[in-house]
Structure 1
Amino acid sequence: MSENFLEPQSLGVPCPRCQQELQLKKGRYGLFVGCSDYPKCDYMTSADFDPDTDVSCPECQSGKLVQKTSRYGKSFYACDHYPTCKFSVPLPPVADTCPKCAYALLLRKKTTAGERLICGREGCDYKTEIR
């Protein structure tokens, strides 16, 4: 690899917190996406960050759900307004409403039999047919 691979590379996507440009950076745990205005803005996410994900947080109504990784390596989706909003779900979110309880979030659940959408609200047992 070339030496300039270690330099931050601009992605052309604005930071959700401060609107500065996001950069692909290399840290001691691998690649990550971080704000170019660090240390003023400490926004960062994993390298497989998808800026086109537009699922809004059903709890605070103002944040977006972003993919994060736990310290054990598991993926989850949490509100980008953390710590003011601590909403998180373990499955990939879908911006659709539940027809049974009208909750504003469905989750994509993959099983060995196929894939289905389930309601994101605890206590609601709505699920679609296996696709």
Structure 2
Amino acid sequence: MSDNFLEPQALGVPCPKCQRDLQLKKGRYGLFVGCSGYPACDYMTAADFDPGTDARCPECQQGKMVQKTSRFGHSFYACDQYPSCRYSVKLPPVAEICPSCGYGLLLRKKTSAGERLICAKDTCDYKSPVK
């Protein structure tokens, strides 16, 4: 056995889909949590699963924004209702309404002058004062 190989380890947590045990597994892009009933049950999530932010998705109004990692290692925030909603942003979302245009999401942007909130809508140019 090599150091890169990892046997699935039971976590003692039931799968939300089928109630079988969830396991910590190693895949092509690193560690993940998957159902022990695979392939009958295809539930899986990231090993460092973040339940999400308190920000709702401004597009579908049903999902919440959760942090994800691309295959290149960059983090981004996307709606947890994927694939029915494909909304995503690169900056951390904040659950506030834009005072300028009324869009339902602001983004936290760090600049050399400090941190500020900007509107997630491309056509709006709202920027909060530097904190």
Q: Which amino acid aligns with 1:8?
A: A
Q: Secondary structure at the match of 1:8?
A: strand
Contact 2:108 2:118 in 1 (8 A): yes
Q: Which amino acid aligns with 2:25?
A: K
Aligned to 2:65: 65
Q: Which amino acid aligns with 2:123?
A: G
- Give 1:6 deviation, angstroms: 4.7
- Work out the percentage of aligned pairs sharing the same amino acid: 61
Q: Deviations over 1:86-119 (max 9, x none)?
A: 1111111111100000111011112233211110
Q: 1:9 aligns with which of 8, 11, 16?
A: 11
The 2-side partners of 1:49 and 1:22 are apart by 16
Contact 1:92 1:108 in 2 (8 A): yes
Q: Which amino acid aligns with 2:120?
A: G
- Give 1:59 deviation, angstroms: 0.8
The 2-side partners of 1:94 and 1:54 are apart by 8
TM-score (norm 1): 0.75
Aligned to 1:26: 25
Q: Deviations over 1:13-39 (max 9, x none)?
A: x84xx4858846131333223456644
* Structure 2 unmatched ranges of 5 or more: 1-6
Contact 1:57 1:63 in 2 (8 A): yes
Aligned to 1:122: 122
Contact 1:20 1:36 in 2 (8 A): no
- My pick for the range that moved more, 45-54 or 98-107, is 45-54
- Give 1:65 deviation, angstroms: 1.3
The 2-side partners of 1:62 and 1:37 are apart by 29
Contact 2:8 2:23 in 1 (8 A): no
- Give 1:128 deviation, angstroms: 1.0
**Superposed CA RMSD:** 2.9
